[in-house]
Homo-oligomer: A and B are copies of this chain.
Amino acid sequence: MNIGLLGGTGVEGKGLAIRFAAAGIPVLVGSRSDKRALDAARDYSELSRTQLVTGCKNEEMLARCEIVFLTLPFGRAVPAVESSREHFRNGQVFVDVTAPITFREGRPDFVELDAGSSAELLARYMPAGVDLVAAFKTIPAHALADLPTELRCDVFVCGDSNEAKERVMKVAALIPSLRPLDCGPLAMARTLERMTFLAIQLNRRYRRKGARFTIQGI
By a beta-carbon cutoff of 8 Å, the part of chain A in contact with chain B is 140, 143, 151-153, 156, 181-184, 188, 190-192, 194-195, 197-199, 201-203, 205-206, 208-218
Contacts and interface: CB of A to CB of B under 8 A. Distances in A.
B184 A191 contact: no
Given A191-B194, A197-B191, A202-B183, A218 B214 contact: no
Given A181-B202, A195-B195, A213-B213, 8 more contacts: A183-B198, A184-B205, A191-B191, A194-B194, A199-B215, A202-B215, A208-B217, A214-B216
Q: Is the interface of A mostly helix, strand, loop or mixed?
A: mixed
A21 to B, nearest CB: 23
Given A191-B197, A194-B191, A211 B205 contact: no
A200 to B, nearest CB: 10
Contact of A152 (B188, B211, B216): B216
A212 B216 contact: yes
Residue from the set A143, A190, A205, A218 with the largest chain B CB neighbour count within 10 Å? A218
Given A181-B202, A201-B184, A214 B211 contact: no
